[in-house]
Structure 1
């Protein structure tokens, strides 16, 4: 892109003034009219970094001398400094009169907003797009979220998207803007696809503080009043009593990061089926230690301590699920639960 063809005349003038530095620019500013100075201020606020080569072309257009080292600009700040140090406060105030209103910052960046969405929702959007679009979108996301999104795609589309991610070079800015506009219109701003994931997560975090009996009762109440997006809430809810519904692989991941003391305490008074599901996911040595402790009974151990240990296990399970290690029972078909 040729800068000289895309910058306005006031922007070119502002670039040269900043490049000249305060002494020379200050002398020139005295010769500008107030309306011209207003135009320069507006122009400077719209400028970004200008490469050295493009700045030389601008200077050549004005047939002026170019001082080495002025290729990079922070135009708005430097223009403000030039004005404040070369003009009186009264002159600056007169120039800036009527310009106190902050300019519209424009729409928020797309990608930080996309990072907050559920992987399934992003995957649903990409399912109707070209694989090249999918590759571009995933290249803009964190590795963790991109992996989760890939797993939601059908295998043929997933393969095509990954193939393009391998061979994709830097995407043209025009193409990126088109995709961003589509995402903003269809994924972020559309009322029909309003994001409720944060609300689901908040409610699920409350429900995860309840014991199994309380949780079941509350879920029934939510169903009876027709709570919208209840499936999304259930997918985030988990109690210690559901541990046997997890796959063996998932249980191994959960208990690999927990101490035997916590596991032992959580298992006190637990049903036989649940106890076996937990112990089967623990190494032989740790299992023998836990079984020995459990055989001594639970006399003198506070129920509150047992419930706290179970919450610790449930919280670790929910955390691993959010990180994409596995799905909670409420989010997977019954046939997948082991």
Structure 2
């Protein structure tokens, strides 16, 4: 196959930004060929490209031809096409300002949904309530009024009682909210909440490997990390910092412990606590009713001597359960790297 020849870039194109070139190319492609591309764009991207297109002015035919040839040449030279967050970010960086690229990428990495309120509906009520409890009650009332009733109800149930009652009272007295107020709330949610949420959801290979190590028994974990210390000490240190261990469960909030107690296999939990320090046992007993705690103690006593390996495996199972509940948004884990931060 003959290579597609390219000509020197016309002077008229040298002053065109990446965004202007993209707008010109879409204008040239027209409805028939450009429609599939337009359909993949977000509303904001359509607005931005449309505004740029409307201000392009006259573009000589030579410049138009060069754009098409350049586009065809780039497609022709591709052996294959791989779409990923990284390739998408690289492409957007060539046609948008850096702040816009950052906003788009954080948006698509975050919960799915066309509007901010759709996205919030895909955020766990526990995570959302954890953020909202620090906001002014009137702002919380505005946000909850925009959510679906079932989701708003679950968020209210997660808020401290006094805050929840105050928010309900304000929602009852709330008149039609001005459009400017809604836009300001959306902007705050996007910059303060969704941005942090999407950043928390980014994962690097060390995080994935830490999850793998969390599922190993203690002896295998220690053996592998010791070997990694010799070959890649920085990676070993990073994995250790990212691992969530049985001991880290001590940092969880009472509500998270209660959720784990409710979801865990009772026999496995008794075995895990059998080999745990008394402080850890009391923490889990505090998440049960008095009767359930007594039954758990009786179960542990009736086990008699147990193998340390069996206790460790049961403790690993509790850690896996905690991570699973965190991934689904049912609980929030305290990040062992930072006492003030949380991971989702």
TM-score by structure 1 length? 0.43
TM-score by structure 2 length? 0.43
Larger of the two Rg values belongs to structure: 1
Greater length-normalized contact order (CA 8 Å, ≥ 6 residues apart): 2
